[in-house]
């Protein structure tokens, strides 16, 4: 379940973004964090080890003890050498944003080390007007940060990321941006959309709502994903629209609620993992 948040002691002029939620959403100790993530990846499914990575995925973003088992179904498929940039798409939970925003910070730090941001891709997209550069939405944001420990353990060498906050946008606008982004990043890039599903309902109601949302994703029907169906609704709708344009197929890898991983069954958050191929 999401936890209370404190703004980290950091300002946008810094070149390295420090972790905002270490010690709350995931362990702050490097050894403990590595052991947790490796255990989740090991449990991510034997079939994942032989499946070639696809161009896009959807993962949840709660504390790892809640949503980590679901996210691991995606990251177990990326547990191999790779050279392409991993583009992380997520919502702005704390600082309102319009359109697609990328950070000026050149590196993101977790307890496992620093991850470089693809500065060339940032410059190219910003120059063409597809994104806006602004560190402020990223300072407290957890939805993208919690993906980094998985990626650091999956791809310890040569990892580059492009964090993108997708604020209020139309589906068409996000599809245009993702199309430009995919072309600029090259064929080895992977898009990872970070979103949870329904929030704070009894488990039965959440299960019903999430089933409808998941079916909309499987049908590549962005117009059927409502604002209350996913906290990352703008990113999710955009990715689904982009996948439809590309002729991709969605597969549901895992779905559960926070009640299944130890949360209160009277107020659950829904989680799902998808692959697009």
Model confidence over 109-131: pLDDT tens digits? Answer: 999 999 999 999 999 999 999 99
Domains of the chain: 32-276 (3.40.830.10)
For 214-226, how does the pLDDT look when each residue is reduced to its tens digit (9 = 90+)? 999 999 999 999 9
**What pTM was estimated for this model as a whole?**
0.93
Which pLDDT band, with edges at 50, 70 and 90, does 198 fall under? very high
Per DSSP, helices labelled H in the chain are 30-42, 64-75, 119-127, 148-154, 171-185, 203-218, 233-246
- CA 40 vs CA 43, 45, 79: distances in Å: 5, 10, 12
Strands 86-90 and 161-166: parallel
Q: Answer whether residue 8 shows pLDDT above 80.
A: no
The per-residue pLDDT for range 258-271, each reduced to its tens digit, is 999 888 999 999 99
């Amino acid at each position: 379940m999401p936890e209370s948040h404190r703004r980290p002691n950091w300002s946008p002029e810094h070149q390295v973004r420090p972790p905002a939620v270490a010690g709350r959403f995931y362990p702050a100790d490097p050894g403990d964090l590595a052991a947790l993530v490796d255990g989740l990846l090991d449990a991510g499914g034997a079939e994942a080890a032989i499946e070639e990575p696809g161009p896009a995925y959807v993962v949840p973003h709660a504390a790892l003890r809640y949503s980590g088992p679901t996210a691991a179904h995606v990251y177990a498929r990326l547990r191999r050498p790779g050279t392409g940039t991993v583009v992380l798409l997520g919502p702005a939970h704390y600082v309102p944003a319009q359109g697609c925003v990328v950070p000026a910070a050149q590196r993101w730090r977790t307890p496992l080390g620093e991850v470089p941001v693809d500065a060339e891709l940032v410059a190219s997209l910003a120059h063409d007007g597809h994104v806006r550069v602004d560190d402020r939405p990223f300072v407290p944001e957890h939805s993208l940060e919690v993906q980094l420990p998985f990626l650091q353990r999956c791809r310890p060498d040569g990892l580059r990321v492009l964090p993108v906050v997708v604020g209020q946008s139309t589906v068409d606008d996000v599809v245009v941006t993702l199309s430009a982004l995919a072309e600029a990043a090259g064929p080895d890039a992977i898009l990872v959309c970070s979103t949870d599903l329904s929030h704070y309902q009894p488990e039965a109601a959440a299960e019903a709502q999430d089933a409808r949302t998941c079916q909309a994703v499987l049908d590549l029907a962005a117009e059927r994903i409502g604002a209350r169906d996913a906290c990352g609704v703008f990113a999710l709708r955009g990715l689904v629209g982009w996948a439809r344009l590309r002729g991709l197929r969605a597969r549901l890898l895992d779905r559960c609620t926070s009640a299944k991983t130890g949360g209160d069954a009277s107020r659950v958050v829904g989680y799902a993992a998808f692959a697009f191929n």
